[in-house]
A and B are shown apart, each in its own frame.
Chain A
C-alpha cells in the first residue's frame, strides 16, 4: 500500500525551495534579474571542480547582491568586478539548505556590469560513482540551479572535462531538445586538448535548473577493433582470391 506520508513529503519538497526563496530575507531586496550567466565548470583529476561564473547583472537594488550557487560547498571564493577588476567582498550563505553567494558591493551602480566569481568545489565529480561502466564510459550529470528569486535571462553552463577525456554522448537534458528547434540546447567543442560541453537555457526563473547528463571516456584509443578489421580484410583477400580468378 502507498504511504500517504511519502506523498505529502514529496509535495512539501516540491514547494519548499520556491517558498523558502520567496520568504528568505536576502531575497527581499528590490533587484531585477540577471541578464546572463556563463558558468564554466572545469573538472579536475581529483574530482574537484574549478568554477568560474560570469554574471551580467540587470538592475541591482540597495543592499547586498545575491548570486545563485548550485553546489555543496565553495573553497577559495573570490569575486571581482569584471575579469580582473576590483575584488568584491563575498561569502557563501545558506538558509534552510538553499545556498547563495552574498556580495557586499558597496552600492555602486552595477547595472550591466559583469561580476566574476571563481571558486573550487571539492568532490564535484565522484569518480567511483561515475564509472567506468560499459565501454569504459563515465556518466555524470551537471546542473545549474537558480537559487535566487530573480530570473536569469540566459544561462550557459560550460563543462570542461579533465585532460585526457572526451565526450562520448549526451543523455537527458533540461530543457530537452525541442522538436521544432534546429539545434539541441547542448553542444560539444574539442579544443586545446580538452572537451568542452555547452548547455544553454533561457528564462531560468526561481528554483529552476538547467542540467545535462553526459558520458565521457578516456581519450586513448583501443586498437583491438582496427586490428581485427585489418586481420579480417587480410583473411578475406586470401580466402576469397577465387573471386577474381581468371578475370
Chain B
C-alpha cells in the first residue's frame, strides 16, 4: 500500500525510483517534431544518395566517401528522430559492413571499447549514489541553498563544475559524480525522465557544457590539453606552462559559460515563470523539511561514499599508480573495481537488478562511435579538415587575423566529425604548426589558442564521453544538443578571436 507521504514524494519527483534510465521514455512530440520526424527519412535518403553519387573528390578514398555518406545519413536520422536513435545507430553499423566501409569485426568490436565500458560502470556507480540516497542528500542541499530561483541554481552547478574541473581531470568521472544530483534537482523543478521541461534541458546541457568546456580552462583539465602542449613544445620548443594556459584559456571559458548560462534559459530554451521556481508542493520549505527528515548521514550513505571515494581516488592519482603499484590503473579499470565492490554480496550495496543501465543508449553510442571511427580510419575526417583549409584558400600573404579566425573556427567546430579529442589533437595541432611555419607566422600564436578549443566537444551526444551519459537522462533531444552546442561554440569562437586581439596580445601569446 502506498502511504500518503510516499504518494506526495512521487508527485514531487523526489522518489528516486522515478529516475530509471534503463527504460526508453516516451515523449509526446510537438507539431514541429512531427514534421521533422516525417521529413527525416526522405532527408536522410537524399543526403545518402547525393554523397554516394557525387564524383569522389581528390584526396578521398571510395571507403571515405561511403563513410561520409552513411555518417551524414545517420546524423540526419539522429537529429530528426523518425526512428529511435539506437535504430539509426544499428542501421549505420549494418551499412558500414555491407557497403564495405569497415570490417565487421571492427564494427562489432566497438561495443567492447573502453568508452562503452566506462558508460556501463558509470551507470552502476551512479545507481549506488541513487540507492543510498547520497545523491538525493547532495541535491537537496544544493536546492535548499541556491534553488529558490532557477538562475542561482544553474549558477551553483556552474560553480560546482568549475571547481571539479580543477580537481578531477576525468570528464567522465565528473559526469558520474554529478549526474544523479542533476537529475534530482531537475525533478525539483518539475523536469523528470518521463516529462522533461526546459529547466531540465538547461540544467543538463549547461552541466554537460561545464564538464567539457571547463576542462579547457586548465592545462591538466584533459589529456588532450597536455598532448597539445607537448606537440607545441616538441615542434616549436615553446614550453606551455600551467599559468600561461590558465591565463589564456580560463577567462574565455568562464565568459562563455556565464553567457551560456544567461542565454540558454532566456533565448534558446526559455523558462516559463512556473519553471523558474521549484515545482515541489510547499516549495523550498518542503525541500528543507525533506532534507531534515533524512536525518544524519546513514551508514549506507557512508558506505556508498567510500566506494565512490575509492574510485575517485584512483582516478585522481593515476599518474602515481606506476610508482605505487608498478602499473597504471586506467579510468575504466578503476570504475570496474568500484563496480566489483558495489555488486559483491555483503560488502556491496547493489544487486544487479538495481543497476540502472540504459542499454539502448549504449547501442546508440556503439553505432555512433563506429561511424566516427570509420570516418577517421578511412581518412574522411582528415579530408574534411583539409578541405575546409583549402576552401579558405590559405596561402602566403594571408592576413594573420583572418588565418587566426579560420583556425579557431575549424578547431572549434571540427569536433562534430571526430569522436576522439586525442585524434583531433594529433591531426590539428601539428597541422596548424606546419601551416604557421609555412606562412611565416609564429606557430604558438596559432596552435595554443587552437589547443584551448580542443575540449569544447558539446555539439552531439557522440562528441565525448559525458555527452553520451547526459543524453541518457532524456532531458533533451539530439536537436537541442546540436542547437545549444553550436551556439556555445559560436560564442566561444567569437570570444577566442576577441581574446586574440586583446588579452593574448597583452600576455604575449599573440605577438602581432
Bound-state CA distance A182–B53 (Å) is 30
For residue B65, which residue of chain A has the nearest CB? A166
Contacts of A217 in B (CB 8 A): 62
Q: A135-B99, A236-B82 are in contact. Are A179 and B60 (CB under 8 A)?
A: no
Contacts known (A226-B53, A229-B45, A230-B49); A190 close to B37, Cβ less than 8 A: no
Beta-carbon contact of B99 and A189 below 8 Å: no
Chain B hits for A221, CB < 8 A: 52-53
Grouping DSSP codes into helix (H, G, I), strand (E, B) and loop, the B interface class, with mixed when no group exceeds half, is helix
**Chain A at the B interface: mostly helix, strand, loop or mixed?**
mixed
A103 CB–B CB distance under 8 Å? no
Contact among B31, B99, B426 for A180, CB-based, below 8 A: B426
Residues of B contacting A167 in the complex (Cβ-Cβ under 8 angstroms)? 61-62
Interface residues on chain A, size class = 35 or more
A182 & B62 in contact (Cβ 8 Å cutoff): no
Interface residues as binary, A216-230 with B (CB distance below 8 Å gives 1, 0 otherwise): 110101000110011
Cα distance, A183 to B272, chains bound together (Å):
50
Residues on B with beta carbons closer than 8 Å to the beta carbon of A5: none
Cross-chain contact A182 with B427 (CB below 8 angstroms):
yes
Q: Kindly supply a per-residue 1/0 record for chain A positions 223-247, scoring 1 wherever the CB is within 8 Å of any chain B CB and 0 otherwise.
A: 0011001101110110011011001
Q: Does B281 contact A (CB under 8 A)?
A: no
Interface status of B388 (Cβ within 8 A of chain A): no
Q: A221-B53, A225-B99 are in contact. Are A237 and B42 (CB under 8 A)?
A: yes
The smallest C-beta distance from A245 to any residue of chain B, in angstroms, reads 9
Is A170 part of the contact surface with B, judged by Cβ < 8 Å? yes
A28 near B: Cβ within 8 Å? no
A244 cross-chain contacts in B, Cβ below 8 A: 34-35, 38
The reply on B430 being an interface residue by CB < 8 A is: yes
Whether A191 sits at the interface, judged by CB under 8 Å, is: yes
**For window 60-104 of chain A, which residues contact chain B by CB distance below 8 Å?**
none
Interface presence of B440 (CB below 8 A): no
CA of A7 to CA of B427, assembled, Å: 42
Complexed CA–CA distance, A134 and B37 (Å): 35
Q: Is B57 at the interface (CB under 8 A from chain A)?
A: yes
Could you tell me the distance between the alpha carbons of A219 and B100 in the complex, rounded to whole angstroms? 15
The A-contacting residues of B in range 412-443, CB under 8 angstroms, are 426-431, 434
Q: Tell me whether B58 and A189 are in contact (CB under 8 A).
A: yes
> A187: nearest residue on chain B (CB-CB)?
B59
Q: Mark A144-169, 1 if CB is under 8 A from B, else 0.
A: 00000000000000000000001111
User: Given contacts A168-B63, A236-B42, are A247 and B31 in contact (CB under 8 A)?
Assistant: yes
Residue of B nearest to A227 (CB): B49
How far, in angstroms, from A232 to B42 measured CA to CA in the complex?
Answer: 8
Interface membership of B382, Cβ < 8 A: yes
Question: Is B8 located at the chain interface by the 8 A CB criterion?
Answer: no
A170 and B46 CA atoms in complex are apart in Å by: 28
Contact A247:B34 (CB < 8 A) given known A179-B426, A190-B56, A230-B45: yes
Contact between chains at A190 and B38 (CB < 8 Å): no
Which B18-71 residues have a C-beta within 8 angstroms of A?
Answer: 31, 34-35, 37-38, 41-42, 44-46, 48-49, 52-53, 56-63
Interface 1/0s, chain A 166-207, versus B by CB < 8 A? 111110000000011111100111110000000000000000
Q: Is the CB of B62 within 8 A of A168?
A: yes
Residues of A within 8 A of B430 (CB): 181-182
Query: In the complex, which residues of chain B have a beta carbon less than 8 angstroms from the beta carbon of A134?
Result: 100
Pairwise interchain contact A191-B58, C-beta atoms closer than 8 A: yes
Q: How far is the CB of A177 from chain B (nearest CB, A)?
A: 10
Residue B378, interface by CB 8 Å: yes
Chain B nearest Cβ from A223, distance in angstroms: 8
Query: Which of chain B's residues 314-345 have a Cβ closer than 8 Å to chain A?
Result: none
Asked whether A137 is an interface residue with its Cβ less than 8 Å from the other chain, the reply is yes
Q: Which residues of chain A are within 8 angstroms of B49 by Cβ–Cβ distance?
A: 226, 229-230
Name B427's closest neighbour in chain A (CB-CB): A182
Contact A232 B378 (CB under 8 A): no
Closest to A189 in B: B58
Knowing A180-B426, A189-B59, A226-B52 touch, does A168 contact B99 (C-beta < 8 A)? no
* Best-buried of A189, A225, A230, A244 by chain B (most CB within 10 Å): A225
Contact B99 A169 (CB under 8 A): no
Contact B382 A170 (CB under 8 A): no
9 contacts between A and B (CB under 8 A): A169-B61, A189-B58, A190-B56, A217-B62, A225-B48, A240-B37, A240-B38, A241-B38, A244-B38
Closest 5 CB pairs of A and B: A135-B100, A233-B45, A182-B430, A229-B45, A233-B42
